[in-house]
Structure 1
């Protein structure tokens, strides 16, 4: 009597190698993003990671966001707003885009202000930093004593100010 061979089901999902090839990320980077809670692959019976197609977009979003200066924590928070029970839609991604656009606009404004103030700062020679609009607005460092406070090791955070 002949027995029919058992049908072996192929595990669903994409391998880490495939994800690596599609995104250009090293497998170690993909594992790091998994540890950071950016992607959530499921495991096969043998323990291999399997990713969803949507993870390619998530990882691409991470790379773009990092190139724009966003931290892993900011990126994770944004991605946590995406639905877990379905593939994100264009509207889902647009909501994240709006949030990031506002943050980028704020950064551009800060950088523009910095650039405008920097012109008067380079080479001014203000060792006491009493007039420095960038590091010591309104001479707030004077409360810590005389001399170049920041060059002596004080930081704006020591003085309850932002740099």
Structure 2
């Protein structure tokens, strides 16, 4: 592998659009340097960093959280398996909470679809007189309690 990669090489190897690389760079998630001809060049470590970004995004981690995690890594060094273990631990609790919330949503929707709104008095999703507004703004019915 060449020491430095062009934007096209990184995009091809990472399986993403060049515009995504430019976006990640603008957000400070990856870095490049410019040649004398003003062309972007990336170190080989950028491929692993892009993989971390894409995996984080795929599971719903915000770019801000991904950026904070990537800042903990030494610049210019390919993230190792140990680095990934440390990064993924920081996201584990959040993902576990999200899983519980998604399960509650799934189970609530099963009940809703099953009743067909024929039993409005027993509907788990119903919010008569906007009672849940007292708990704050936004959706409240399916929020898992330990997420608060």
Structure 1 and Structure 2 fold alike (TM over 0.5): yes
* Counterpart pick for 1:101 among 92, 95, 114: 92
Residues 85, 59 of structure 1: CA spacing in aligned structure 2 closer, same or farther, 3 A cutoff? Answer: closer
Partner of 1:146: none
* Counterpart pick for 1:43 among 24, 34, 52: 34
* Counterpart pick for 1:76 among 67, 70, 74: 67
d(CA) in 2 for partners of 1:135, 1:55: 48
Contact 1:114-1:134 at 8 Å conserved across structures: no
* Counterpart pick for 2:107 among 116, 135, 143: 116
Contact 1:62-1:75 at 8 Å conserved across structures: yes
TM-score (norm 2): 0.74
Higher helix share: 2
Contact 1:141-1:159 at 8 Å conserved across structures: no
> Which SS does the other structure have where 2:112 is aligned?
coil
Residues 86, 58 of structure 1: CA spacing in aligned structure 2 closer, same or farther, 3 A cutoff? Answer: closer
Deviations 1:45-92 (A, max 9, x none): 222111111100111222222222222222222222222264333221
Unmatched runs of 5 consecutive residues or more in structure 1: 1-11, 144-155
Contact 1:78-1:96 at 8 Å conserved across structures: yes
TM-score (norm 1): 0.68
Cα RMSD (Å) of the superposition? 2.8
How many residue pairs end up in the alignment? 135
Larger Rg: 1
CA shift for structure 1 position 105:
1.5
d(CA) in 1 for partners of 2:29, 2:126: 36
| Bigger RCO (CA 8 Å, 6+ sep) | 2
* Counterpart pick for 1:67 among 37, 41, 58: 58
